Each structure stands twice: as structure tokens, then as C-alpha cells.
Chains A and B, each alone.
Chain A
Amino acid sequence: MVRIGRSRGGGDDLVAVPASETSSEPAGSPGLGASAASPASALHKGPLLEVSDLRTGFRSERGLVRAVDGVSFSVERGRTLGVVGESGSGKTVLARSIMGLLPGSRVVREGSVRFEGMEIGRLSGDAQRHLWGAQIAMVFQDPMTSLNPVVRIGRQITETLRRHLDMDKRRAKDTAVALLRSVGIPEPERRLEQYPFELSGGMRQRVTIAIAISCGPKLLLADEPTTALDVTVQAQILNLLGDLQRERHMAMILVTHDLGVVAGRTDHIAVMYAGQIVEMAPTATLFSEMRMPYTEALLKSIPKTGDPSHTRLAAVAGRPPDLVEPPAGCRFAPRCPYAQDNCHREAPPVQTDDSGRHAWACWYPVGTPEGTAALERNLSAGRPQAVMSVVARERTAEPFAGASAHDDQGAGASRPLGAEQA
């Protein structure tokens, strides 16, 4: 692996990138522009972002809350990673630790986050700030709160441009108009003069996306970008993110609790549970050969349009475990329909399939002889988790029909994975 630019000099090189690169070609090929300005990014051949054994905890009175507990993954340039998990599984903390957005003396952060080979944690505060916004940007969950309510839209966009790209007032304004237009906001000139409360939720999220992409970042972190939005707007925003990503060759980490959201829009999916990644695979593989019972449970809990009315929703029973004292064995075991005695005692090792691209951590993976046998045993023993999971719905046979959680159109028509429904 090429490790250039880990010194302070590397950090300074990076500072020079946006100013020279983006001024000549704001949205164009980052590869070309970067090669001239930044030897670090040009020579770095590895993944854009490498996270290894990242641990983030919060000191509390009860002890250390391990919100992210040993997470490793990498994202290639221009690719999308979906991070999926229920509330409290550590997705947001993961995104924020990557961004270094968790300040304070009570936060404990270990492990390594490398962007283009540079260890972010080792950069100086100034170098980090030049990275954020210019190279790595973030879209937040709730556009109502992530925009400053008393500052005009225009200033919120131009401020970043002027800071990172050294634009003068007029050019920043012109660029802001172009950005707003590129995220599909009508009458962009007028919007610049408006305050956030004058825009609808979808418009506001478009504005935050415009701000996030304004300096041409190489990596975009989208933390539940559509959770606070209307269903119809969700699809528009996700499509917008996908389009922008393709145009700008950005890598993206899409954090969501909705498997339907990531189904058609990601290259890889990482499923998180209780601060750990429990299964990671290329998107299609994950849906066709899921191994982790938790992934299966998540997928089952998506309501299906073909179901008759008043079908009971197959929720995952129970709650995520206490992150101060997580269970000794597999953290999902207490809720798992497949769990055997050893699951409660011993944490399962991470296994991979033959290609090495599909990894999971489970003693009795779904779809394997051991897994099926384990489920059978639990069923005959009458374990509630197992019984409920089967009674709820027999749907593993066709997992994709309901992949989109809010699909409301063709009643029950089974559609290919990721069919758009704008």
C-alpha cells in the first residue's frame, strides 16, 4: 500500500487542492485536476477511505458506552457504501466519528480512519478543517435543524465556497446559483435571499446537499438524508444524490435504517448492530445470500405491498443491547431466532465466503445447513423468537418485492431490485 502524505507536508499539500483544482473545473473530473495539484491523492492507489478497527465510546456515569466497537471497512473512489441498522446501532456515531464531529472530553476514539492514505486523526486541526467540507462533506438527517434558521440560504452556501475555494463575493454567488440549480431548485436567485423556514423540507435538504457538494468533495457522508422527509420527496432526494455522485465521481457513505433505500443505490452494504458490522457484502450478494439473521430480520420487517391489509408487521422483537455492558457472546443472540447456547457465550468470528467480499459474523448463518438446523431446533423447542419469526411471515423466498419500504404502486408486483419509483 502506498503511504504518501502521512507527514504534515502531506496535509499541507491537501490544502492546496481545492483552490487550484476546483476553480478551473468545479464539477469535472477530479482525477485530472487532482493529479496536478496534489501528489498525495494522485499517487495514492488504495481505497479512498479506509476505516480500521474504529472504536468510539462515550464516558458515562455507568461506564463506557461503546457506540462504535471495532468497525473496519473501506470505500473506493466513486463507490457507494450503505450502512444499515436500526436506531441505536451506532450508524450515526460511526458517520460522525469519521468526520471527527464528536468533540468533547467524554468521547473516546480509537482506531484509524485514513482518507487517501492520510490518517485523519493525526492531521493538525487546521489540516483537518481543510479536509472537511472540501474533501469530505456530510449531509445531515434533518434539514430543519442542519440549516441555520436566522441566516439566509445564500450566505450559508457562499460561506463555504469563499472559505475553501477563496472565491470573491460575486463568483461565490454565481456558483451558489449554479449549485442550487444543479440540485433542482427552481428560481435559485430568489432562494439565495430566503431564510430556511421559507423552504419546504425537500427544498431544504436540496440546499444542504448543495452546500455539501459545493467544494467538490471526494467523499460524501449522508446520514439518514431522507428520514425526515416525505415519502415522495425521499425518492427524489435519493435520485439526486445518485445523479450527483455519478456526475462528480464522488464516493458516498449512505447511512440509513431502511434497507429499501440502499437496495438500488449502493455498491456495498454494511449491516450494523450494536456498534459492530455484522455483515458486509456487495449489494446484490447481500440480498440474495444474506447470512446474518439480523439482516434477514431487518428485511422481513419491511412491509410488503402484496400483503393483505392488516397483516401484522414482522418487527424484530426486543431492543438493541446495552452498549455499556454488551452481551458476552453474539450481541444479537437474545433476539435471534437461530440462536443456540454457544451464541450466548462466545462471540462469533468474522467469516468470509470464497470470493472474500462477503463477510459475516454468525455461528449459524442463514441459508446454511447449520443455520437451518438451528432454526429447526429452536422451533421444536418453542423458543419465542424463532416461533414469532416464522409465524410472522414466510417471506424469505422473495425478499425483493418489498425492498422499497414505501412502495405503493403496483399492488404486489414484484419488481427488480432498486426499481425507481419517483
Chain B
Amino acid sequence: MPEPLPKSELDELSSEVRPAGLSESPFSEAISSEAPFEAYADAVMAPSVPVALPEGGFARRRIGIAFWLSVGWIALVILLALLAPLLPLHPPNDTGVGPVAQGPSLHFWLGTDDLGRDMLSRIIWGARVSMIVGFTSIAIGLAIGGTFGLIAGYYRGRIGALIMGCADVLLAFPALVLSLAIVTFMGQSLRNVTLALGLISIAPIARIIRASTLTFSEREFVAAARSLGARNVRIVTREVLPNVALPTFSFALVAVAIAIVAEGALSFLGLSVKAPTASWGGMINEGRTYLQQSPHISLIPAAVMFVTVLAFNFAGDSLRAFFDVRESAL
């Protein structure tokens, strides 16, 4: 322990250190204690208010097992949907391949429905519809809504206000009613359902992309690019877009989940793909009347859809948390 300074010297030191009138500062106590220098150093070095650690610390920046489970499930669904024609499955639309409305068995893993069709086969073929509608409609939304969002966020001003005004009008329509109207008007088909859901997704996607474009186009690297003589198109596509892409991607996954649910709702109402074609929402609808006797006919497609939508949400959310690095953590 260092030799304590004589009291008089300490007083001098402390009076010099602290502004007059601040006698209750943390220094005063520290300096009069036994080990003046250590305590003094502590008082000076350690801020009185604990400094909050940056939020995005390293511990938080692990993406976690839930993400990989979700990705695994999504990959499985996509793979099965892609390979459906090659898999040794019963034809999905053939009636009477097995007993009627039987629960899961060795031969029919997910059972059979009220017409004796193989549920597993129908689930897998139904996944094709869900995946095509989910991904394609969001791709349409990203292409159109993303472009408008980038333009609105980068140029702001009148152009931005005009675009966002249009988006607000689109948002004001009840989504389900709009898609019902489109599908009934244009006719039931995979393409029309996809287009309808794509149209609905444009406005929310445009808003999201505009929001993150707003922040990124204020950043200094955009000014730096401009100072190097880059034109606006180049700045938007080469500087802003790569930064916007990350948060957009995670949002897009959630949007796919929403689109899958929306397709399910439409086919539950019988407005998606036409009758014998398997789709998850349609299967839930078909089993509706047998809920008491054979609940599995509705519940299994419902569960598959639930898990799939959950997986998309989870994956999107984990990605967002993972990429959402605060400035302070950099």
C-alpha cells in the first residue's frame, strides 16, 4: 500500500481537482480514504454511472439453433416440393388409393382423406402451390415495391411523396377483399393468385425499403460516392442497395410466410387453384366437415402450414436480429 499523503497536501490536491462548490463529488470521499492514490485513480477511472455495454455485443451476435432448425424445415419443404414428381408417391389426385379417412399408418404415413387420397402425397404436392405462390408473389412485390421504395427513399421530395401516397392508397384496401376481387374477376389459377398476392405485397414492401433507404442515403459513404462523381443511378444500385438488401431479405422471409397464409386463406375459400389440385388451404377446407370423425384430414395440413409459416417467421426474425448491428457495436 502506498504511503498516504499528508492531509494538507491532499486537501490542496483535491481542491485543485474539483471545481469549487462541488465538495460532494465522488473525489472527496475517495481522496480522504486510506489508500489515496488507488482510490483516487479508481474514482477517476471508473465512471460513477455504469456504462451500458453496446447492445449488439458479441454474445448476442450468434444466430442460434432455432434459425438452423427453421432453415432446415424450409429447405426440406422446398426440396420435397421440387422433387415431388420424382418421389415414389401415390398420385395426389387419385381417389381410392387407400381406405377412406384413415389415420396415419405404415403405408400411408399421414393417413388418407375422405376420398381415400394419400395425404402425404397431397401435402407434398400442395407445398408446390404454397412455395410458388409465396416466393413468386414476394418476388413481384420486391421487384416493383422495392424499386419504388428505393426511388422514394433516395429522392424524397415530391417524387417520394407521390409514390408513398400511391402506396397508402393501396394499403387502405382490405387485402383479402382485394385479392378475392382480383381472383374472382380474373379467374382461378395459380398465376392469378400469385399476381393478386404480389400486388398486395407491393405497398408494404415499398414502405419498408423506403425507410431503410432513407437512413442509408443519409450516410457519409453516399456523399463520398457523390464526391467521386458517381451518378444517382449508380449510387442507388451500388451503394444503397447492398445495404438495404440485408434488412429487406429478412423482411422478405416474413412476407413469404404471410403470402403462404394468404394463399391458404384463399384456397380455404375455394378461390385458389382449382378443385382436385392439392393445396394446403384447400385440404384444410376439405377436411372441415369431417373434423369430428377424422380430424387429421384438416389438422395435418394445418400443422404443416403452421410449422412452415413459423419457420419462415423465425428465420426472418433471427436474420433481422443478426444483421441489425447498432452503430456502436461496429
A interface residues, Cβ below 8 angstroms from B:
96, 99, 101, 103, 105, 128-134, 137-138, 140-142, 144-151, 159-160, 163-164, 197, 208, 211-212, 310
B6 nearest CB across to chain A (Å)? 18
For A150, what are the chain B residues with a Cβ–Cβ distance below 8 Å? 242-243, 245-246
- Given known contacts A144-B330, A310-B16, A310-B17, A132 and B228 CB-to-CB distance under 8 angstroms: yes
B interface residues, Cβ below 8 angstroms from A:
16-17, 157, 219-221, 223-231, 238-239, 242-243, 245-246, 330
Bound together, the chains give a CA A295 to CA B246 distance in angstroms of 48
For B228, what are the chain A residues with a Cβ–Cβ distance below 8 Å? 132-133, 137, 160, 163-164, 211-212
The 5 closest A-B pairs by CB, nearest first: A133-B228, A133-B229, A129-B229, A145-B220, A132-B229
Is A151 within 8 A of B230, CB to CB? no
For A147, what are the chain B residues with a Cβ–Cβ distance below 8 Å? 221, 224
Q: For residue B13, which residue of chain A has the nearest CB?
A: A310
- Given known contacts A132-B226, A146-B221, A105 and B157 CB-to-CB distance under 8 angstroms: yes
Q: Which of A96, A148, A164, A212 is close to B243, meaning CB atoms less than 8 Å apart?
A: A148
Q: Which of B227, B239, B330 is close to A101, meaning CB atoms less than 8 Å apart?
A: B227
Is B238 within 8 A of A159, CB to CB? yes
B97 nearest CB across to chain A (Å)? 52
Bound together, the chains give a CA A150 to CA B221 distance in angstroms of 11
For A159, what are the chain B residues with a Cβ–Cβ distance below 8 Å? 230, 238
Q: Which of A99, A145, A149 is close to B227, meaning CB atoms less than 8 Å apart?
A: A99
Is B229 within 8 A of A163, CB to CB? yes
Q: Which of B220, B229, B238 is close to A134, meaning CB atoms less than 8 Å apart?
A: B229
Q: For residue A310, which residue of chain B has the nearest CB?
A: B16
Bound together, the chains give a CA A30 to CA B150 distance in angstroms of 40
Interface SS of B by simple majority: helix
Bound together, the chains give a CA A129 to CA B230 distance in angstroms of 7
Bound together, the chains give a CA A145 to CA B328 distance in angstroms of 12
Is B242 within 8 A of A197, CB to CB? no
A173 nearest CB across to chain B (Å)? 17
Bound together, the chains give a CA A161 to CA B309 distance in angstroms of 47
For B230, what are the chain A residues with a Cβ–Cβ distance below 8 Å? 129, 133, 159, 163
B158 nearest CB across to chain A (Å)? 9
- Given known contacts A105-B157, A142-B220, A151 and B239 CB-to-CB distance under 8 angstroms: yes
A110 nearest CB across to chain B (Å)? 21
Q: For residue B323, which residue of chain A has the nearest CB?
A: A150
For A134, what are the chain B residues with a Cβ–Cβ distance below 8 Å? 229
For B242, what are the chain A residues with a Cβ–Cβ distance below 8 Å? 148, 150-151
B239 nearest CB across to chain A (Å)? 5
Bound together, the chains give a CA A141 to CA B246 distance in angstroms of 26
Bound together, the chains give a CA A140 to CA B223 distance in angstroms of 9
Is A133 within 8 A of B219, CB to CB? no
For B227, what are the chain A residues with a Cβ–Cβ distance below 8 Å? 99, 101, 132-133, 137-138, 140
Q: For residue B219, which residue of chain A has the nearest CB?
A: A145
* Listed A/B pairs (22) with beta-carbon separation below 8 Å: A96-B223, A101-B227, A103-B226, A129-B231, A131-B229, A132-B227, A133-B227, A137-B227, A138-B227, A144-B330, A148-B221, A148-B225, A149-B221, A150-B243, A151-B242, A160-B228, A160-B229, A163-B228, A163-B229, A211-B228, A310-B16, A310-B17
For A145, what are the chain B residues with a Cβ–Cβ distance below 8 Å? 219-221
Is A208 within 8 A of B224, CB to CB? yes
For B246, what are the chain A residues with a Cβ–Cβ distance below 8 Å? 150
Bound together, the chains give a CA A164 to CA B227 distance in angstroms of 13
